Amino acid sequence: MTHTHPHPPLPAPSREGSVVLEIGGTLGALIIHTGPAEDGLEIEVSPTGQDATRTHAAVRPRHLTGRVVHCAVISPLPEGDYTLWRTADTREGTVTVRGGEVTEYRRLQGSQPAGSRKSSSA
């Protein structure tokens, strides 16, 4: 993704229980699952219909018991519909974030079908 502000170096991979999500009321969170090849990639989302109002997070490895997953975690997000961006000008899909819930999205890999979405309550 392209944007003009600098970032500090990426943090070390996170461990189980080390990511804090700010959810509740009208705030939710979005977890975007990817593959390891996307480690360090910044993924942008914007409220649907507000393409210029974007936020982003970097894909990082998350060390869980017995496995490693790669994902970007965006929290908090006000509840609503969001566009996920594959590139600065290419939409990938949409998700609905609900207050008090974590929405998960599986990012497209190559030519696979549309990403999957699911929500879980806090």
Q: Which fold has domain 14-108?
A: Immunoglobulin-like (2.60.40)
Asked whether the beta carbons of 39 and 73 are under 8 A apart, the reply is no
Which of the pair, 59 or 10, is modelled with greater confidence?
59
What are the pLDDT digits (tens) for 37-82? 999 899 999 999 999 999 999 999 998 889 999 999 999 999 999 9
CB 85 within 8 A of CB 44: yes
Judge if pTM exceeds 0.85: no
Could you give the percent of the chain with pLDDT greater than 90? 67
- Tell me what pLDDT residue 11 has: 64
Q: How much is the mean pLDDT over the chain?
A: 84
Closest C-alpha to 118, from 103, 101, 99, 97 = 103
Closest residue by Cα to residue 14 from 58, 62, 57, 59: 62
